[in-house]
Amino acid sequence: MTRILFQNANLVLADSIREGSLVTEDGKIVDIDAGSHVQADEVLDCQGHHILPGVIDDQVHFREPGLTKKEDLETASRACAAGGVTAFLEMPNTKPPAITIEGVREKEKIAARKSRVNYGFYIGATPDNVSELAQASEVPGIKIFIGSSTGNLLVDQQEALERIFAETTLPICAHCEDESTVRANAERLAGTTNVADHSRIRDENAAVIATTRAVDLARRHQHRFHVLHVSTAAELPLLTHPAPYLTAEICLHHLFFNIDDYARLGSRIQMNPSIKTKADNEGLWQGLLEGTIQVLATDHAPHTLEEKSQPYPQSPSGLPAVENSLALMLDQVNAGRCTLNQVASWMSDAPARIWGMVGKGRIEIGYDADLVVVNMDESRTIRDDQQHSKCRWSPWDGETLWGWPTATFVGGHCVWNQATGFDETFRGSKLRFDHSRGGFWNTSDGIGT
């Protein structure tokens, strides 16, 4: 492996930003604040640039197997690399769904051949696969769809949920929208072709009811639980009394879009859970800044533009975001809304700690050299036709952002560079998970190595 010296960088550490140098070797960070005398095979002058820990997106839908006309692990991981994302955790609702250990292993085999970045895959819960979930290992956790799914991935019967929380030990995450509320609203608004009604069908009550139910399960069973894509400020009081087993996340679209944007963007922002109000945008930002929410993710879920252009409700829910997630947040840093240290915490350190990703999430000696170099003074405009995601569109098309990745390193290897593009020969690795370390609240000093 090459020994690389990153000189004259602004290093975004866990609690500070330090001007200095960084040395990587054999895929690890081996020195910080290295002197000019250090011997290296390659010297990179990062003058004026920042180095952050690589982004870890803990909620993506990369569509392989079964739905690869929308996305696959090669195109999605290229989008990750170009966006500064060095690791992803992918959801189980592929075709076939990953609801067995064997199904997860098959997806890992595909990723080993195709993925430019590191990877992990959740195992999906069904009403009757508790024994499979209890035996699963080497995965980030269990995903439950409490609403917003069909077939055997929908788990909304209380008895089944109680068994999953009582009889398994892996961390659990869930999509929380109350199915009966959604169905009742859909019946009331039957026949609508107005995409804005999507937020009336999947309303605040649907989210609050399901999140309340899931948090109650977690507290009673004292089972580590992560609330995915919190979409409304009304859910925040459920999370303000943290326990060693409770964490939560927000997705970018729930911070940046609201129901007023349907007139401009239509089904491009049709999501489950749905986009809510401007007041919810502000409340969710506050929850993130105050620490009620720990993680910022994307829920990257691409569809073709042809599919999205169908009249509502034939238009599917989901949008691509993994390629632009870091830049969107760097732009917010430049606008004074948050700090680089906060972005590194929300997008790297916190997901690593929640899911027990060994050696990930921080710039620290001994940690894996998963890094992203960013230029905070560069502006670029997001364009549909420049996206690396197979669907080739973005809801942020036409928006100019300040602050962009210029190079992404996975295990000390440059997988993407703004000037030279992708290294077509490199492949990422399966993430290592150690759930015995106790998750977010028990690893304040990082997940370690």
240 falls in which pLDDT band (50, 70, 90)? confident
Q: In this structure, what token pair is assigned to residue 119?
A: 């990877």
The residue among 109, 103, 146 whose CA lies nearest residue 127 is 146
Q: In this structure, what token pair is assigned to residue 418?
A: 């703004």
CATH number of 54-359: 3.20.20.140
CA dist 131 and 133 (Å) reads 5
Burial class (CB in 10 A: 0-12, 13-18, 19+), 419: exposed
For 84-119, write each residue's pLDDT tens digit. 999 999 999 999 999 999 999 999 999 999 999 999
Predicted local confidence at residue 38, as pLDDT: 87
Q: Residue 149 above 70 pLDDT?
A: no
For 17-45, write each residue's pLDDT tens digit. 999 999 999 999 999 987 767 889 999 99
226 - beta bridge partners?
Answer: 173, 247
Predicted local confidence at residue 34, as pLDDT: 76
Mean pLDDT of the chain: 96
Site of tokens 């870890």:
56
Q: Residue 429 above 70 pLDDT?
A: yes
Predicted local confidence at residue 104, as pLDDT: 98
DSSP class of 67: -
CA dist 186 and 177 (Å) reads 13
The rounded percent of the chain whose pLDDT value lies above 70 is: 98
Predicted local confidence at residue 243, as pLDDT: 80
Exposure on the CB side of residue 183, measured as CA atoms within 13 A: 8
The Cα angle at residue 91 between residues 182 and 374, in degrees rounded to 5:
110
Predicted local confidence at residue 421, as pLDDT: 97
Predicted local confidence at residue 74, as pLDDT: 98
Domain residue spans in the chain? 54-359
Residues 286-316, buried b or exposed e (16+ Cβ, 10 A)? ebbeeebbbbbbbbbbbbeeebbeeebbebb
Predicted local confidence at residue 420, as pLDDT: 96
Q: Residue 377 above 70 pLDDT?
A: yes
The residue among 396, 325, 333, 443 whose CA lies nearest residue 55 is 325
For 174-212, write each residue's pLDDT tens digit. 999 999 999 999 999 999 999 999 999 999 999 999 999
Residues 107-134, buried b or exposed e (16+ Cβ, 10 A)? bbebbeebbbbbbbbbbbbbbebbebbe
Residues 154-182, mean pLDDT to the nearest whole number: 96
Q: In what order do the strands lie in the sheet with 85-90?
A: 55-60, 85-90, 118-121
The rounded percent of the chain whose pLDDT value lies above 90 is: 95
Q: Residue 430 above 80 pLDDT?
A: yes
Residues 208-219, mean pLDDT to the nearest whole number: 96
Q: Residue 150 above 70 pLDDT?
A: no
For 248-280, write each residue's pLDDT tens digit. 999 999 999 999 999 999 999 999 999 999 999
For 55-93, write each residue's pLDDT tens digit. 999 999 999 999 999 999 999 999 999 999 999 999 999
In angstroms, the first-to-last Cα distance of the chain is: 19
Q: Residue 408 above 80 pLDDT?
A: yes
Contacts of 204 (CB under 8 A, 6+ apart): 232, 234, 276, 280
Identify the three-state secondary structure at position 288: helix
Q: Is 277 left (phi over 0), alpha (psi -120 to 50) or beta?
A: beta
Q: For the chain, give me the number of helices (H) and strands (E)?
A: 14, 18
148 falls in which pLDDT band (50, 70, 90)? low
